[in-house]
Amino acid sequence: MEQQEIYSNVVRIISKHAKNEDALKNLGPETHIINDLQVNSARLVDIVLDFEDTFDLEISDDDADKINTIGDAVKLVKDLLH
């Protein structure tokens, strides 16, 4: 799976749970999921589960704890797929 496809899927999944509509208009790899998009920790669990289902992989709790930005999520998924 190419990085752009991973990025698009990550953004699609995270966008469903974001509370800050303005931040969604200016997404980038440095966009912080909790601070910028106002995703709460319970929704972050849903996002990780969606990643696992979408990309058919398993994300450990330690890896999930490292997801702070959209770029972090893309890198983690890419690393786990390869």
Query: 39-72, pLDDT tens digit by residue?
Result: 998 999 999 999 999 999 999 999 999 999 999 9
As a whole number of angstroms, the distance between CA 41 and CA 53 comes to 19
Render pLDDT for 15-40 as a digit per residue (tens, 0 to 9).
Answer: 999 999 899 999 999 999 999 999 99
Please check the confidence at residue 14 and state whether its pLDDT lies above 90.
yes
pTM (two decimals): 0.93
Averaged pLDDT of the chain? 95
d(CA 23, CA 32) in angstroms, rounded, equals: 10
Domain coverage including residue 12: 3-81
CA distance 70 to 7: 8
The pLDDT value given to residue 8: 97
CATH number of the domain within which 21 lies: 1.10.1200.10
Structural domain tally of the chain?
A: 1
